[in-house]
Amino acid sequence: MSTLEIRDLHVSIETDQGTKEILRGVNLIINSGETHAIMGPNGSGKSTLAYTIAGHPRYTVDSGSITLDGADVLEMSIDERARAGLFLAMQYPVEIPGVTVSNFLRTAKTALDGEAPALRSWIKDLRGSMEALRMDTSFAERNVNEGFSGGEKKRHEIVQLELLKPKIAVLDETDSGLDVDALKIVSEGVNRVKENTGLGVLLITHYTRILRYITPDFVHVFVDGRVVEEGGPELAERLENEGYDRYLTGSTVG
Ligand code: ADP
Ligand code: MG
Ligand code: MG
Protein backbone atom coordinates (compact mmCIF):
# COMPACT_ATOMS: atom_id res chain seq x y z
CA MET A 1 0.00 0.00 0.00
CA SER A 2 1.50 3.33 -1.14
CA THR A 3 0.40 6.92 -0.73
CA LEU A 4 1.35 9.93 -2.82
CA GLU A 5 0.59 13.08 -0.87
CA ILE A 6 0.62 16.58 -2.34
CA ARG A 7 0.27 19.42 0.15
CA ASP A 8 -0.35 23.07 -0.67
CA LEU A 9 1.88 22.89 -3.74
CA HIS A 10 2.89 26.17 -5.35
CA VAL A 11 4.86 26.00 -8.60
CA SER A 12 6.12 28.68 -10.97
CA ILE A 13 8.06 28.89 -14.21
CA GLU A 14 10.34 31.49 -15.74
CA THR A 15 8.98 33.01 -18.94
CA ASP A 16 10.14 35.88 -21.15
CA GLN A 17 7.68 38.03 -19.23
CA GLY A 18 9.15 37.03 -15.88
CA THR A 19 8.12 34.54 -13.21
CA LYS A 20 4.66 33.06 -13.62
CA GLU A 21 2.93 31.18 -10.83
CA ILE A 22 1.02 28.24 -12.28
CA LEU A 23 0.10 25.93 -9.40
CA ARG A 24 -1.47 27.86 -6.56
CA GLY A 25 -1.94 25.52 -3.64
CA VAL A 26 -2.69 21.97 -4.84
CA ASN A 27 -3.77 19.35 -2.30
CA LEU A 28 -4.21 15.70 -3.31
CA ILE A 29 -3.81 12.28 -1.71
CA ILE A 30 -3.62 9.20 -3.94
CA ASN A 31 -3.50 5.71 -2.46
CA SER A 32 -2.66 2.42 -4.14
CA GLY A 33 -5.62 0.99 -5.98
CA GLU A 34 -7.36 4.36 -6.29
CA THR A 35 -8.00 6.21 -9.54
CA HIS A 36 -8.19 9.97 -9.34
CA ALA A 37 -9.25 12.00 -12.36
CA ILE A 38 -8.02 15.55 -12.67
CA MET A 39 -10.24 17.43 -15.06
CA GLY A 40 -9.77 20.98 -16.14
CA PRO A 41 -9.70 23.43 -19.04
CA ASN A 42 -6.63 23.96 -21.21
CA GLY A 43 -3.97 26.05 -19.55
CA SER A 44 -5.17 25.34 -16.01
CA GLY A 45 -1.85 23.74 -15.02
CA LYS A 46 -2.62 20.02 -15.29
CA SER A 47 0.57 19.16 -17.19
CA THR A 48 2.55 21.39 -14.85
CA LEU A 49 1.35 19.23 -11.98
CA ALA A 50 2.39 16.07 -13.85
CA TYR A 51 5.83 17.45 -14.72
CA THR A 52 6.39 18.66 -11.18
CA ILE A 53 5.63 15.21 -9.78
CA ALA A 54 8.06 13.74 -12.32
CA GLY A 55 10.78 16.28 -11.50
CA HIS A 56 11.05 18.31 -14.70
CA PRO A 57 13.75 20.97 -14.09
CA ARG A 58 11.73 23.71 -15.79
CA TYR A 59 9.25 23.91 -12.92
CA THR A 60 10.20 25.58 -9.62
CA VAL A 61 8.47 24.46 -6.44
CA ASP A 62 8.02 27.63 -4.37
CA SER A 63 6.32 25.98 -1.42
CA GLY A 64 4.39 22.91 -0.37
CA SER A 65 5.37 19.26 -0.43
CA ILE A 66 5.12 16.01 -2.36
CA THR A 67 5.77 12.79 -0.47
CA LEU A 68 5.56 9.11 -1.41
CA ASP A 69 5.03 6.96 1.67
CA GLY A 70 6.47 9.79 3.72
CA ALA A 71 9.65 10.16 1.65
CA ASP A 72 10.31 13.64 0.23
CA VAL A 73 9.82 13.33 -3.53
CA LEU A 74 11.02 16.88 -4.19
CA GLU A 75 14.45 15.93 -2.83
CA MET A 76 14.70 13.03 -5.30
CA SER A 77 16.31 13.10 -8.75
CA ILE A 78 14.15 11.99 -11.70
CA ASP A 79 15.76 8.53 -11.53
CA GLU A 80 15.15 8.24 -7.82
CA ARG A 81 11.50 9.13 -8.32
CA ALA A 82 11.16 6.31 -10.84
CA ARG A 83 12.92 3.87 -8.51
CA ALA A 84 10.63 4.96 -5.68
CA GLY A 85 7.69 3.86 -7.84
CA LEU A 86 6.47 6.96 -9.65
CA PHE A 87 5.64 6.84 -13.35
CA LEU A 88 4.75 9.67 -15.72
CA ALA A 89 3.13 9.12 -19.10
CA MET A 90 3.68 12.44 -20.83
CA GLN A 91 1.16 14.27 -22.96
CA TYR A 92 3.86 14.60 -25.64
CA PRO A 93 6.35 11.70 -25.28
CA VAL A 94 9.82 12.28 -26.74
CA GLU A 95 11.52 10.37 -29.53
CA ILE A 96 14.67 8.44 -28.70
CA PRO A 97 16.45 7.84 -32.03
CA GLY A 98 18.66 4.76 -32.15
CA VAL A 99 17.05 3.08 -29.12
CA THR A 100 14.57 0.30 -29.77
CA VAL A 101 11.46 -0.21 -27.68
CA SER A 102 12.83 -3.58 -26.59
CA ASN A 103 16.16 -2.12 -25.43
CA PHE A 104 14.55 0.89 -23.85
CA LEU A 105 12.18 -1.21 -21.75
CA ARG A 106 14.88 -3.65 -20.68
CA THR A 107 17.26 -0.84 -19.74
CA ALA A 108 14.53 0.91 -17.75
CA LYS A 109 13.61 -2.32 -15.98
CA THR A 110 17.25 -3.01 -15.14
CA ALA A 111 17.73 0.51 -13.79
CA LEU A 112 14.61 0.21 -11.63
CA ASP A 113 15.36 -3.24 -10.21
CA GLY A 114 19.12 -2.86 -9.90
CA GLU A 115 19.61 -6.03 -11.96
CA ALA A 116 18.71 -7.20 -15.44
CA PRO A 117 15.50 -9.25 -15.69
CA ALA A 118 15.92 -12.94 -16.58
CA LEU A 119 15.83 -13.04 -20.37
CA ARG A 120 13.31 -15.80 -20.93
CA SER A 121 10.60 -14.51 -18.60
CA TRP A 122 11.29 -10.96 -19.76
CA ILE A 123 10.65 -11.81 -23.40
CA LYS A 124 7.53 -13.68 -22.40
CA ASP A 125 6.24 -10.70 -20.37
CA LEU A 126 7.04 -8.25 -23.15
CA ARG A 127 5.30 -10.36 -25.79
CA GLY A 128 2.31 -10.93 -23.51
CA SER A 129 1.89 -7.25 -22.82
CA MET A 130 2.22 -6.26 -26.47
CA GLU A 131 -0.23 -8.94 -27.51
CA ALA A 132 -2.78 -7.77 -24.97
CA LEU A 133 -2.50 -4.29 -26.46
CA ARG A 134 -2.90 -5.73 -29.98
CA MET A 135 0.57 -4.64 -31.05
CA ASP A 136 2.62 -6.46 -33.66
CA THR A 137 5.81 -8.02 -32.26
CA SER A 138 7.87 -6.06 -34.82
CA PHE A 139 6.99 -2.98 -32.77
CA ALA A 140 9.64 -3.98 -30.20
CA GLU A 141 12.38 -3.35 -32.78
CA ARG A 142 11.30 0.16 -33.69
CA ASN A 143 12.98 3.23 -32.23
CA VAL A 144 11.16 4.72 -29.26
CA ASN A 145 8.39 7.08 -30.40
CA GLU A 146 10.05 7.63 -33.79
CA GLY A 147 7.20 7.95 -36.27
CA PHE A 148 4.78 6.41 -33.78
CA SER A 149 1.13 7.24 -34.30
CA GLY A 150 -0.76 8.72 -31.35
CA GLY A 151 -2.20 5.30 -30.59
CA GLU A 152 1.19 3.59 -30.74
CA LYS A 153 2.70 6.11 -28.31
CA LYS A 154 -0.06 5.51 -25.81
CA ARG A 155 0.12 1.73 -26.17
CA HIS A 156 3.85 1.88 -25.62
CA GLU A 157 3.21 3.74 -22.38
CA ILE A 158 0.84 1.04 -21.18
CA VAL A 159 3.46 -1.61 -21.99
CA GLN A 160 5.84 0.39 -19.80
CA LEU A 161 3.25 0.48 -17.00
CA GLU A 162 2.74 -3.24 -17.24
CA LEU A 163 6.43 -4.16 -17.25
CA LEU A 164 7.90 -1.53 -14.94
CA LYS A 165 5.21 -1.95 -12.27
CA PRO A 166 5.20 1.50 -10.67
CA LYS A 167 3.23 2.21 -7.50
CA ILE A 168 1.63 5.44 -8.68
CA ALA A 169 1.20 6.46 -12.31
CA VAL A 170 0.42 9.91 -13.65
CA LEU A 171 -1.26 9.64 -17.06
CA ASP A 172 -1.41 13.02 -18.78
CA GLU A 173 -4.09 13.17 -21.50
CA THR A 174 -3.65 9.51 -22.35
CA ASP A 175 -6.89 9.83 -24.28
CA SER A 176 -5.79 12.63 -26.60
CA GLY A 177 -5.58 11.69 -30.25
CA LEU A 178 -6.99 8.18 -29.80
CA ASP A 179 -9.86 6.82 -31.82
CA VAL A 180 -12.49 4.87 -29.90
CA ASP A 181 -10.96 1.46 -30.61
CA ALA A 182 -7.50 2.51 -29.46
CA LEU A 183 -8.99 4.27 -26.44
CA LYS A 184 -10.74 1.05 -25.42
CA ILE A 185 -7.58 -1.03 -25.80
CA VAL A 186 -5.46 1.45 -23.86
CA SER A 187 -8.11 1.75 -21.13
CA GLU A 188 -8.37 -2.03 -20.82
CA GLY A 189 -4.60 -2.05 -20.40
CA VAL A 190 -4.73 0.49 -17.57
CA ASN A 191 -7.54 -1.45 -15.88
CA ARG A 192 -5.59 -4.69 -16.20
CA VAL A 193 -2.51 -3.15 -14.58
CA LYS A 194 -4.67 -1.65 -11.82
CA GLU A 195 -6.17 -5.04 -11.10
CA ASN A 196 -2.91 -6.97 -11.24
CA THR A 197 -0.66 -4.59 -9.35
CA GLY A 198 -2.90 -2.33 -7.26
CA LEU A 199 -1.57 0.68 -9.14
CA GLY A 200 -2.70 4.11 -7.98
CA VAL A 201 -3.60 6.33 -10.94
CA LEU A 202 -3.72 10.07 -11.41
CA LEU A 203 -5.60 10.41 -14.68
CA ILE A 204 -5.32 13.88 -16.16
CA THR A 205 -7.84 14.72 -18.83
CA HIS A 206 -9.67 17.55 -20.50
CA TYR A 207 -12.51 15.35 -21.74
CA THR A 208 -14.77 12.89 -19.93
CA ARG A 209 -14.60 10.32 -22.73
CA ILE A 210 -11.86 8.14 -21.19
CA LEU A 211 -13.76 8.02 -17.89
CA ARG A 212 -16.35 5.80 -19.57
CA TYR A 213 -13.69 3.11 -19.77
CA ILE A 214 -11.57 3.86 -16.70
CA THR A 215 -13.90 4.58 -13.80
CA PRO A 216 -12.44 7.10 -11.37
CA ASP A 217 -12.98 6.76 -7.63
CA PHE A 218 -12.53 10.51 -7.24
CA VAL A 219 -12.87 13.45 -9.62
CA HIS A 220 -11.05 16.72 -8.96
CA VAL A 221 -11.95 19.79 -10.99
CA PHE A 222 -8.81 21.78 -11.68
CA VAL A 223 -9.01 25.46 -12.60
CA ASP A 224 -6.36 28.15 -12.53
CA GLY A 225 -3.74 26.09 -10.73
CA ARG A 226 -5.81 24.54 -7.99
CA VAL A 227 -8.56 22.05 -7.22
CA VAL A 228 -11.85 23.92 -7.06
CA GLU A 229 -14.26 21.04 -6.57
CA GLU A 230 -14.09 17.34 -5.70
CA GLY A 231 -16.52 14.47 -5.96
CA GLY A 232 -17.15 10.99 -7.31
CA PRO A 233 -17.76 9.79 -10.88
CA GLU A 234 -21.04 11.74 -11.00
CA LEU A 235 -19.02 14.95 -11.07
CA ALA A 236 -17.48 13.88 -14.39
CA GLU A 237 -20.95 13.40 -15.82
CA ARG A 238 -21.93 16.88 -14.77
CA LEU A 239 -18.81 18.29 -16.42
CA GLU A 240 -19.65 16.41 -19.58
CA ASN A 241 -23.03 18.13 -19.69
CA GLU A 242 -22.11 21.56 -18.39
CA GLY A 243 -18.44 22.07 -19.27
CA TYR A 244 -16.12 24.24 -17.23
CA ASP A 245 -17.86 27.56 -17.76
CA ARG A 246 -19.34 27.75 -14.29
CA TYR A 247 -15.83 27.68 -12.82
CA LEU A 248 -14.40 30.34 -15.12
CA THR A 249 -15.70 33.50 -13.55
CA GLY A 250 -14.40 36.05 -16.00
CA SER A 251 -10.87 34.67 -16.11
CA THR A 252 -9.04 34.37 -19.41
CA VAL A 253 -8.26 30.66 -19.33
CA GLY A 254 -8.64 29.43 -22.90
P1 ADP B 1 -2.73 22.25 -19.03
O2 ADP B 1 -1.95 20.99 -19.07
O3 ADP B 1 -3.84 22.26 -18.02
O4 ADP B 1 -3.25 22.64 -20.37
P5 ADP B 1 -0.18 23.53 -18.55
O6 ADP B 1 0.35 23.04 -17.26
O7 ADP B 1 0.39 22.97 -19.79
O8 ADP B 1 -1.78 23.43 -18.55
O9 ADP B 1 0.01 25.11 -18.61
C10 ADP B 1 -0.42 25.97 -17.55
C11 ADP B 1 -0.04 27.40 -17.85
O12 ADP B 1 1.37 27.53 -17.78
C13 ADP B 1 -0.43 27.87 -19.23
O14 ADP B 1 -0.80 29.23 -19.15
C15 ADP B 1 0.84 27.69 -20.05
O16 ADP B 1 0.89 28.61 -21.11
C17 ADP B 1 1.89 27.96 -19.00
N18 ADP B 1 3.12 27.17 -19.26
C19 ADP B 1 3.30 25.87 -18.95
N20 ADP B 1 4.52 25.45 -19.32
C21 ADP B 1 5.12 26.52 -19.88
C22 ADP B 1 6.38 26.76 -20.45
N23 ADP B 1 7.29 25.78 -20.52
N24 ADP B 1 6.65 28.00 -20.93
C25 ADP B 1 5.72 29.00 -20.84
N26 ADP B 1 4.52 28.83 -20.32
C27 ADP B 1 4.21 27.63 -19.83
MG1 MG C 1 -1.60 28.15 -0.78
MG1 MG D 1 -1.62 19.55 -20.50
**CA angle, 112 then 117 then 119, to 5°:** 150
> Which residues are close to ligand 3, an ion, with C-beta < 5 A?
46-47, 91
Structural domains of the chain ordered from first start: 3-241 (3.40.50.300)
Residue 55, phi-psi category: left (phi > 0), alpha (psi -120 to 50), beta (remainder): left
Interstrand relation of 60-68 and 3-15 (parallel, antiparallel or unpaired)? antiparallel
Q: How many CB atoms lie within 10 A of CB 187?
A: 23
Say what the pLDDT of residue 127 is. Answer: 94
Strands 200-205 and 35-39: parallel
Which atom in ligand 1 lies closest to the alpha carbon of residue 49?
6
Per-residue tens of pLDDT for the chain, all 254 residues: 999 999 999 999 999 999 999 999 999 999 999 999 999 999 999 999 999 999 999 999 999 999 999 999 999 999 899 999 999 887 677 788 889 999 999 999 999 999 999 999 999 999 999 999 999 989 999 999 898 888 898 899 999 999 999 999 999 988 888 999 999 999 999 999 999 999 999 999 988 899 999 999 999 999 999 999 999 999 999 998 998 998 887 555 44
Residues enclosing ligand 1, CB less than 6 A? Answer: 13, 15, 22, 40, 42-48, 58
Give the pLDDT confidence score for residue 254 in this predicted structure: 46
**Cβ proximity of 145 and 94 under 8 Å:** yes
Q: Are 148 and 104 in contact (CB under 8 A)?
A: no
DSSP symbol at 17: T
Q: Which ligand is the nearest neighbour of the Cα of 21?
A: 1
How far apart (Å, rounded) are the C-alpha atoms in residues 244 and 241?
10
- The pTM of this model reads 0.92
Distance 193 CA to ligand 3 centre (A): 23
